[in-house]
Amino acid sequence: MAVRAVRGAVQLDRDEAGHMDQQVAALLTALLERNGLTPEDLISLWFTATPDLHSDFPAAAARGLGITDVPLICAQELDVEGAMPRVVRVLAHIESDRPRAEIAHVYLGAAAALRKDIAQ
């Protein structure tokens, strides 16, 4: 079993805790489904949020999905002029037998523009 990293992101429509929870849950669900993973395959999740998001911690959505025994951390994304606003990103470390080339990175909605080279 290899350790792999999976990236993902979602842009929020607004900075509200319930909306963040819903969108981050959708991102994590898609990341798990597209890679044939279960929460038991997760090693850790690293979330970043753009500086304009203040309503909640993205990791709270993971806990709401029942991901309770995986280390989680949240950080603030760099405040780069012209960057896409209201974005939550995730870097998931996983255990998987999939080759690196078969890992599905998940960029939902407008966030697909962030990484057109790997968004699926």
- pLDDT tens for the chain, 120 residues long, are 899 999 999 999 999 999 999 999 999 999 999 999 999 999 999 999 999 999 999 999 999 999 999 999 999 999 999 999 999 999 999 999 999 999 999 999 999 888 767 655
Q: Reply yes or no on domain 2-113 having CATH 3.50.50.60.
A: no
- Could you tell me the strand order of the sheet in which 106-108 lies? 72-76, 42-49, 87-96, 2-11, 106-108
Q: Are 82 and 53 in contact (CB under 8 A)?
A: no
The pTM assigned to this predicted structure is 0.94
